[in-house]
Structure 1
Amino acid sequence: MTHRDLAARRRLLASGGALLLLGAAPLRSAWAGFNFFTSEYTASREELQAQVAKKFPLRQSAGGLFDVTLRDPRLDLDASANRAMLSTAVTIASPFLNPAQVGGQLAVSSLLRYDPETLSLRLDQPRAERVVLDGVGGQDAVRLQRAGAAVAQELLQGQALHTFRKEDLTVGRKTYEIGDITVLADGIKVQLK
């Protein structure tokens, strides 16, 4: 091997090392859950919980008849059904109720979808699994549970569970797109393609 070949090889190794170092800094900060070898990104349940909590409380009025408020969300993940589960405190208020406000608990499960315009994983087709209202019984409870469930499903449809930054999806010159979304017991994994 000539001196010129050795010098060229050193320059190549040095430039490759510099590129590796330049690429590693963004990987450490932006890609805490990025697996370079499998092209997957995993967000932990704790990370997702922190992002979800910032979006609450959520409120919506139902035709002026009553107002529904969701607060104190708790995220769980159902890997076997590939669904995110969200439990919240619920308050239903109406001038037609006595007392004028009823509290309780609500549990919703949801599929997930990726929205490329906002770079977000969003709840999709949320389904109320359980609505329990305190101090209400009989037909009143049934009607309020149905109404609360319907409003909660509407409120949660499309809510962001995780939002990527554009630089999160870029490594070097490659910009990734989101592929399959898999719910794990302790996080959510997305395939990057």
Structure 2
Amino acid sequence: MIHHATRVSRRAFLLAACAATGTAMSLGACATGIFPFIPDHYTFSQQQVQDAVQRKFPYRRSMQQIFDVSLTNPVVTLQPDRNRVAVRLDAHLESPLMQQPVSGAFTVSSELAYDSASRAVVLRSPSVDGVDMAGGAAAYAPQVGAVAALAATQLLDNYPVYTFKPDQLQFAGVNYEPGTITILTNGIRVQIVEK
């Protein structure tokens, strides 16, 4: 009997398990490739991304021994039309190359990717979308943009914004992994597929 059970196909096993649960689900609904207790996707919120990014700030660093940069107050927004996550940061720069310290803000956007080694959804290839320097500081926008791009790459590239627990990606001896990542207006949807 046990030997026979090991030969039962995974699909038959899933159908039998669905029937055994006694739920109101139809067998057709259970016959998907995902076990009924494993969702076909996970969605995490903008606030969860905000909380993850917030842990990196405030950030202060000397860049190339020329600029002292301070980055604070990250604000995360979702850009479903571009399938990217944006982070707006307040920036304060001091440098012997400038007559006085300058302050402003810049926005960095990033795509999301899954890093299997850490089981995390990470920011990938961030780039500076815009620099906002007011008044006399506007003349320094190119320098701020260059420093911001360097800081963003060092600080946010491959930074995890959501980490899956092992039990979220395994059930009944079957391993799953994130697939397509889609930015929505109210969260981030990660497809879960069988390995």
Match of 1:50 in 2: 51
Identity of aligned residues (%): 31
CA contact (8 A) 1:106 1:130 kept: yes
Contact 1:68 1:152 in 2 (8 A): no
The match for 2:99 is 98
Q: Which residue of 2 aligns with 1:128?
A: 128
Q: Matches of 1:69 and 1:86 in 2, distance apart? A: 15
Note closer, same or farther for the CA distance 1:150–1:84 as it changes in structure 2 (3 Å cut).
same
Which residue of structure 1 aligns with residue 166 of structure 2? 166
| Aligned ranges 1:73-112 → 2 under 5 Å | 73-99=74-100, 101-112=101-112
Runs of 4+ in structure 1 deviating by more than 4 angstroms, as ranges, are 35-38
- Range with greater deviation from structure 2 (136-145 or 113-122): 136-145
Superposed CA RMSD? 2.7
Alpha-carbon shift at residue 95 of structure 1 (Å): 3.5
Equivalent AA in structure 2 for residue 53 of structure 1: Q
Partners of 2:41 and 2:72 lie apart in 1 by 32
The structural deviation recorded for 1:91 is 1.8
1:137 positional shift: 4.3
Question: How far, CA to CA, are the matches of 1:117 and 1:186 in structure 2?
Answer: 27
Distance in 2, matches of 1:60 and 1:174, equals 45
Query: Could you tell me how far 1:175 is from its partner in structure 2?
Result: 3.0
Tell me the residue number matched to 1:66: 67
Opposite residue 190 of structure 2, the aligned amino acid is V
- Normalising by structure 2, we get a TM-score of 0.71
- Does residue 156 of structure 2 align to residue 145 of structure 1? no
Q: Structure 1: which 5+ residue stretches go unaligned?
A: 1-11, 21-34
Deviation at 1:110, TM superposition (A): 1.0
Q: Do the aligned partners of 1:131 and 1:149 also contact (CA within 8 Å) in 2?
A: no
Secondary structure of 2:136's aligned partner: coil
| CA shift in 2, pair 1:164/1:144, >3 Å | same
Q: Is the 8 A contact 1:132 1:145 kept in 2?
A: no
CA distance in 1, matches of 2:177, 2:52: 21
Q: Kindly tell me: are residues 135 and 111 of structure 1, through their superposed partners in 2, closer, same or farther at Cα, counting changes over 3 Å?
A: same
- Measure how far apart 1:36 and its partner are: 4.9
Question: How many angstroms apart in 2 are the aligned matches of 1:138 and 1:52?
Answer: 27
Provide TM-score, normalisation by structure 1.
Answer: 0.72
Mark the runs of 5 or more structure 2 residues left unpaired by the alignment.
1-15, 24-35
Hey, what's the Cα distance between the residues in 1 that align with 2:102 and 2:137?
12
Structure 1 residues 45-89: Cα deviation after superposition (integer angstroms, max 9, x where no partner): 122212221222234432100122322111111111111111111
* Worse-matched range after superposition: 89-98 or 74-83: 89-98
Match of 1:187 in 2: 187
Shift of 1:148: 2.8
- C-alpha separation in 2, matches of 1:161 and 1:104: 25
* Structure 1 residues 140 and 71: CA distance shift in structure 2, 3 A: closer
Task: Write the distance in 1 (CA, Å) between the matches of 2:167 and 2:57.
Answer: 26
